[in-house]
Structure 1
């Protein structure tokens, strides 16, 4: 992959001894951190708002999840272009242009008049945001002298951890107390501030540019097969999967496109994705575990607030507050993990992370219909422990043995696959949830009869409270569906727990990292 994501010197770093930065280094650093914050925030802010958005636009919550997956896929596909853009136009120009385009796309998302228009603008938003995270990281590092680079990375890393905490809370508060378009409109003043300060403060520190070829055919094939696969996953449950000719056609396009992509990239001199990286055992196994772990994690992040708002009566704000403590634990523990990553075998940290994930999912698999707020929070506190170790440990493992010159390509490829895995996991999770709920509902209905004394008693109680016979049947049907979705949710968390535990075995198939430069390509 020809990306310079996570490379402090992408495109050739500007000398440190540049003219004084207008407005001060602290102001520019704050603006750069806000750039990262905005991009990461927009990966999570919509999660708790999906029921509200879907309701306001007259669609189902299943279709509403396209708001999440469309952004994630477009963002993942744009990552491979980051390195080429930075080398061709310079890091500062690329970053500032990305922020401005992201700001415009955010405004368009808020102004969307239908689900189709919102998805289109979210695709645009994800596509233009690819350079924001690696650009802000590279510029922050070049902004500080060598002895303070650790502080720069600490600022950058904290924003990637704080943003996922703020996303659900902010998204919930805006959806409940204002209107959902403002979850996108709030990016406009922040984006304009960030672009203005960064351009005025860093335009004299632009990196050298050079004309380099771009693998346009490889990029086109990448968009084709990833897009076809994501559309198939998003729409399959609504069209009865492979009984639909459209779904079959999308599957064929995805399969043929993937094979053509592999053949082309293996023979291309300047590939958009450097597949030779997979010759490294740690990279191959590390990326596999990284994607599986992140996919399971992100699936749970999407499902929990969706279930709580749809069936448990939680508002978007309270659904967001359930997830907040998990991020806080990760923020508190991450500095400790970062300081000791060089002293402890990263495989041990990854193992602890997956054990924490497994325990968290097993705890969630024990939810009951009478669970209270803290019952939902406690498993996520345990998950926060795993979050603090998972990203840095897995990145250290998968980048072990990769030459310094190829670190940007390896980091970019791993992040592309991680983001794409999260998008795929969202579609798979919601499909699993709905299908298993339907299965449980059928079984519950088969075990129930209108002549059942308990059912008759329940209907009698409801009618005594003023409900008609039809209303009583409707209320009981609603409760039946509620129980079915609870059982489906428990099934999902149970499977996630065992996937987490099984992933530990793959971690120990990797070799112990031999050390090297610290990895700070933090995941959003």
Structure 2
């Protein structure tokens, strides 16, 4: 992309005001990846759907965002970086309002898709514009500001989502985006339009984009709806599987032979990059799936309010923010593979520890493991990004960063569906197993009826106990599988060679 370098960087108050606007834009987009996590039970109740269907609000946004990220470069070169940023910002705000006004799950998911499509380009473009307006000697401050919003937003998401759901209503988690988006869009255009990039009439890989949308959408719908349709006993699920498989193969063939692919798959020829992407996909999928499951479990079966679940979930980000500078410093001065291994193993160890949870745990027994889990997060993501981008040529860095972000976001969406499906399926199996062994001699029923309860009420209490323990076992089983996935991801990283160069990770949006 050609940029207009004749414009001098901003300075003084104008520089920091513009930086604040760009950071705020990145903040609300990242915030929306987690603000809905604790809101799913409330949204599901408000729209009269199950909690499992409520997770479509998360997966639809993530998939749409993943699909739109690879288009950022083409959009910016074709229409201008500033124009695309301002347009996407305003559309993000409009779609957020539409999400809040949705009266059914179908319309909410449709508007979340549009919101994700608008939000995808905002993360890389906010970073690009920050680097453009800052003087070279202050580039470190620009990257630090952008990185802090990326780290803080996931912490604030669950807290803000919980408070708004409990005290205002679930539509408010979307409405709050609108004023921020409009302010950022309006003042962003006023202050940044002189930094507009030169326009290039580059063509887009329309066929590659269409094939990507087809196979990703088919696979996501299959994962979301499989449990409701009895999986491959359903003709619809079989058809989706065939479409996803054929679409994926066609996508691979087309992108590997296209001169200007929408996703440059050729970067996978570098072993270090391939191993890094596999590691981040396994680890981030495990992390995000467990992160989505935690507030669902706490609110549905542990008696937590959305606010309390938000506070517990947000604990994982506190130490992550504090440790991030150390992780960045070590990543630039030593082999990143031991850092990644230790960081991912730490996440796996904490998750395995959480697989021994009980239904009578206190708030701090739930929250403290999440707090300490945060130590491993920067040592997982920061050096892994450097390893991945240091394994490709400098000319491929931007494409490699976009593809890595696509895979990371997509793995989170797929993991959410798999975790939700497995959680419910395991709970059903556990319930069947427990029902056969609980109170075989009738002692519990006898004790309950001796207290004055009638037989129906006593059976209902026993049934509630069985259901609660079935869910608890299922939750622990999911944490156990997530922990093993972390361990596998940590082992995989040793297949990567040491990177031959230190990469500029500022492009890794």
TM-score (structure 2 length as normaliser): 0.97
1:129 aligns with 2:119: yes
User: What SS is found at the alignment partner of 1:98?
Assistant: helix
Contact 2:445 2:459 in 1 (8 A): no
User: What SS is found at the alignment partner of 1:237?
Assistant: coil
Q: Distance in 1 between matches of 2:273 and 2:448?
A: 58
1:282 aligns with 2:282: no
Residue of structure 2 equivalent to 1:107? 97
Shift of 1:156: 0.1
Contact 2:159 2:314 in 1 (8 A): yes
Structure 1: give runs of 5+ residues left out of the alignment: 1-10
Residue of structure 2 equivalent to 1:414? 404
Residue of structure 2 equivalent to 1:429? 419
Contact 1:27 1:197 in 2 (8 A): no
Contact 1:50 1:65 in 2 (8 A): yes
Q: How many residues in Structure 1 have an aligned counterpart in Structure 2?
A: 509
> Which residue, out of 302, 309, 315, partners 2:305?
315
Residue of structure 2 equivalent to 1:229? 219
1:354 aligns with 2:354: no
Q: Deviations over 1:80-112 (max 9, x none)?
A: 111100111111111111101100100000000
Shift of 1:390: 1.1
1:207 aligns with 2:193: no
Q: Distance in 2 between matches of 1:87 and 1:476?
A: 64
Q: Deviations over 1:228-266 (max 9, x none)?
A: 000000000111111111111111110111111111112
Structure 1 outlier segments of 4+, above 6 Å: none
1:329 aligns with 2:319: yes
Q: Distance in 2 between matches of 1:137 and 1:348?
A: 28
> Which residue, out of 491, 494, 497, partners 2:483?
497
Structure 2: give runs of 5+ residues left out of the alignment: none
Shift of 1:137: 0.3
Contact 1:359 1:382 in 2 (8 A): no
Q: Distance in 2 between matches of 1:330 and 1:130?
A: 24
Residue of structure 1 equivalent to 2:494? 508
Residue of structure 2 equivalent to 1:144? 134
Shift of 1:416: 0.5
Deviates more, 1:172-181 or 1:397-406: 397-406
User: What SS is found at the alignment partner of 2:39?
Assistant: helix
Shift of 1:458: 3.5
Shift of 1:521: 4.7
Deviates more, 1:91-100 or 1:390-399: 390-399
Residue of structure 2 equivalent to 1:93? 83
Contact 1:16 1:145 in 2 (8 A): no
Contact 2:92 2:119 in 1 (8 A): yes
How is 1:377-396 mapped onto 2 (pairs within 5 angstroms)? 377-396=367-386
Shift of 1:514: 2.5
TM-score (structure 1 length as normaliser): 0.95
